[in-house]
Chains A and B, each alone.
Chain A
Amino acid sequence: MAFKTVSIGLPLLDKALMDGVPEGYTILLSGSPGSGTELFAKQFAAAGSKEENVMYITTTERDEDIITTMKNFGWEPNIQIVNVGAEYYHKVLEKELIISKYREEGIPVNEIFAPARKKKEKEINFLTMITYEISKLKPPFRIIIDSLDFFLNNYDGPKVISALRTIKAHAQYYGGVVLVTMMKDVYDTHTQSGVEQLADIILEMDMLRTPKGFVNHIIIKKVRNHPEKAGIFKYQIYEKGLKIVG
């Protein structure tokens, strides 16, 4: 019996996997900076934008940058963007900016007596925020979290993994797919293996410097129950996005 699958956005990679990504699967995409994981994430989002509800959770880009990039590659930006980065700026960074200004220059006398914060202003938990947003998604759906690094930098590893487990369970139950990006080789083994264990598919993007320039690779590191599918593929970037070559 074949799995019901959806496309990952790169036909040859679909073939190398299980003729696509089985519904309910969680994909971990790791890579070093500059290797193209963000572009991959957008291509993955575009692949679902016709028939699925796509939620794109970003921690670093502006909404308009995501949309413009997608349009430039000819992809339909028919996606819902949840901008954790912007929210984080308003709720946390903006305050820190004011604090650092006060620390450098001192609090101006006329601001000494102004209340420091609104009464009972709640500290926002971004992990809870995204799990909540995801829980509202109607199937069929695909979720992109770009990237997990933000959460790993702001919360304890076990908490992030636990939230990821909830998201994965939700996707399994409703037959959605999840793509999570994460930086390569920066976390402790405990966190790394915790995330890797949850993932049904692990992909890695890599850049190799050669005398002729850079050679890009996508490595299939894990496909659940299919160790034989591990492999290494060259890819290039065309005007229509990433493409597996030769």
Chain B
Amino acid sequence: MADSGRDRCKTGIAGLDSILNGGIPRGNTILITGSCGTGKTTLSLEFLVHGALMGERSMYISVTEAPEKLVDNMITYDFFDKKLINEKKLILVDLQEIYVKLGLEKLEFTLEDVNILVSQIVKIVKELGIKRLVIDSITSICYRLTSKEEIREFILHLGKELSDLGCTTILISELLHSSEGYSQYGVEEAIADGIIFMGNLERRGDLLRTIQVIKMRGTTHSRAKYVLDLTPIGVLLAPLLKGGSSEVT
């Protein structure tokens, strides 16, 4: 296969790995985007847990929610083992705590603040040997950046440094119903190495979760829309039967 050359970071989510021809190309920074309730957090947590189980140290940076709450939510999943957290194979970080320590408790970041934040994240990834990183969400960080240039600088700089460290990164992007394209600010989607779009679809009265790989640098992939099922054994993907369905916006 043409793209078999690049090392893959297996998501551990059966359907998704086959869509991606083996997984996310290692070192990529990808955007998982969608409106609320589409399963972004669950999907990315599963990505981390599978990584941790395979011996890749994984880290989840939470911007808006306390990490303890997240653990409570994850306990319902069969694949989750609290030992992963106790043994520090899966590390949860509350970004608000880091904001306080770095004097970033403010509404608007300067370029200097952005660089300090990036260096801090990179420092943690480097020193703890993190191989998989999720930032939930990039939108709430970008909210404090004052211009598209700053957002661009932030994601590019972060993506480059993490890629150099061989860390595969998922940035979660919150999508408002009103936003066009695949990201809130329009900049994120252009810079990311990949975009996975998660949405809602109505079919004969049911609201289905859908997942679609829009782009992924470094691999060929299907661009078809799949149905996503959140089950106790994890995320399941199934081909979408198109009859009688309509997009929910």
Contact = CB atoms under 8 A, between A and B. Distances in A.
The size class of the interface chain B forms with chain A is 10 to 19
Interface of B: 93, 96-98, 100-103, 116, 119-120, 123-124, 127-128
A103 interface: yes
A116 B101 contact: yes
B103 A99 contact: yes
A112 B102 contact: no
Nearest to A96: B103
Given A107-B120, A112-B93, A102 B101 contact: yes
Interface in A101-123: 102-103, 106-107, 109, 111-113, 115-117
Nearest to B121: A106
A109 B128 contact: yes
Interface residues of A, number: 15
B102 A103 contact: yes
Contact of A99 (B96, B97, B101): B101
Contacts of A96: 103
A96 to B, nearest CB: 7
Nearest to B100: A116
Nearest to A115: B97
Please indicate which of the listed interface residues B96, B100, B101, B102 has the most CB atoms of chain A within 10 Å of its own CB: B101
25 contacts: A96-B103, A98-B101, A99-B101, A99-B102, A99-B103, A100-B103, A102-B101, A102-B102, A103-B102, A103-B103, A106-B119, A106-B123, A107-B101, A107-B123, A109-B123, A111-B101, A112-B93, A112-B97, A112-B98, A115-B97, A116-B96, A116-B97, A116-B100, A116-B101, A117-B100
B55 to A, nearest CB: 20
Given A99-B101, A116-B101, 20 more contacts: A98-B101, A99-B103, A100-B103, A102-B101, A102-B102, A103-B103, A103-B116, A106-B119, A107-B98, A107-B101, A107-B102, A107-B120, A107-B123, A109-B128, A111-B101, A112-B93, A112-B124, A116-B98, A116-B100, A117-B100
5 nearest A-B residue pairs (beta carbon): A116-B100, A99-B103, A106-B123, A116-B97, A109-B127
A115 B68 CA distance: 14
A139 B93 CA distance: 55
A104 to B, nearest CB: 9
Nearest to B93: A112
Contacts of A113: 93
**Helix, strand, loop or mixed for chain A's interface?**
helix
Nearest to B99: A116
B130 to A, nearest CB: 11
Contacts of B101: 98-99, 102, 107, 111, 116
Interface string A177-215: 000000000000000000000000000000000000000
Contacts of B100: 116-117
Contacts of A117: 100
A109 B123 CA distance: 8
Nearest to A117: B100
B103 A106 contact: no
A36 B127 CA distance: 54
Given A96-B103, A99-B102, A99-B103, A106 B97 contact: no
A113 B123 CA distance: 14
B201 to A, nearest CB: 40
A171 to B, nearest CB: 38
Nearest to B122: A106
